[in-house]
Structure 1
Amino acid sequence: MPQVAVCQVADCAYNQDSTCHALAITVGDGTHARCDTFFTFPSKGGDAAATGRVGACKVSGCLHNVGLECQAPGITVAALQDTADCLTYTMR
């Protein structure tokens, strides 16, 4: 599972110091490469000893997507407009 190398979405409940601490995230809603695991919460969560990984990707049109699994060596997540998006997304 590829690592979430950088997460620039500071207000995500799983983000601590630009590091994702969700054990695994899901990317995409079928058409858009957003981080479906993103949400805000009054306190931070996740496993502080772990760095998040991509558990599933539902954007089949991405160059890195093989069988709904991300094959990129790592991804970057950032806030674009009102969503947390996978910046590693590359259209086929």
Structure 2
Amino acid sequence: MPFINECAVEACSYNVGSACHALAITVGDPPHARCDTYFVTSFEGGDPAATGQVGACKMADCRHNSRLECQAPGIAVGPGREAADCLTYSPR
């Protein structure tokens, strides 16, 4: 599973210091490559010792996607069309 190299979505409960601490995220709700794991609450979530990874990607049209699994060496998440988008998404 590729690592989330950077998350620039400060409001997400899994983000601490621009690092995602969700064990795994899901990307996409076609036709948009949003981070489906994005979550805002008053407390921090995830495992502080873990670096988030991409567990599933529903963006079958992405050049990094093979059988709904991300094959990119790593991804970046940040503000885009939605509050938290996969900035590595690239249509074929």
Output the TM-score relative to the length of structure 2.
Answer: 0.97
Is 1:8 aligned to 2:8, yes or no?
A: yes
Show the 5 A alignment for 1:4-83.
4-83=4-83
Instruction: Report the 3-state secondary structure (helix = DSSP H, G, I; strand = E; otherwise coil) of the residue aligned with 2:34.
Output: coil
Instruction: Report the 3-state secondary structure (helix = DSSP H, G, I; strand = E; otherwise coil) of the residue aligned with 2:10.
Output: coil
Is 1:85 aligned to 2:82, yes or no?
A: no
Q: What's the CA shift string for 1:4-34, capped at 9, x where partnerless?
A: 0000000000000000000000000121100
Equivalent pairs: percent with the same residue? Answer: 61
Instruction: Report the 3-state secondary structure (helix = DSSP H, G, I; strand = E; otherwise coil) of the residue aligned with 2:84.
Output: strand
Name the CA distance, whole Å, in 2 between partners of 1:52 and 1:77: 11
Runs of 4+ with >4 A deviation:
none
- Matching residue's letter, 1:18: S
Name the CA distance, whole Å, in 1 between partners of 2:81 and 2:62: 20
| Count of aligned pairs | 92
Gap runs ≥5 in structure 1 = none
| CA RMSD after TM alignment | 0.8
Instruction: Report the 3-state secondary structure (helix = DSSP H, G, I; strand = E; otherwise coil) of the residue aligned with 1:75.
Output: strand
Gap runs ≥5 in structure 2 = none
Output the TM-score relative to the length of structure 1.
Answer: 0.97
Q: What's the CA shift string for 1:40-74, capped at 9, x where partnerless?
A: 01011100000000000000000000000000000
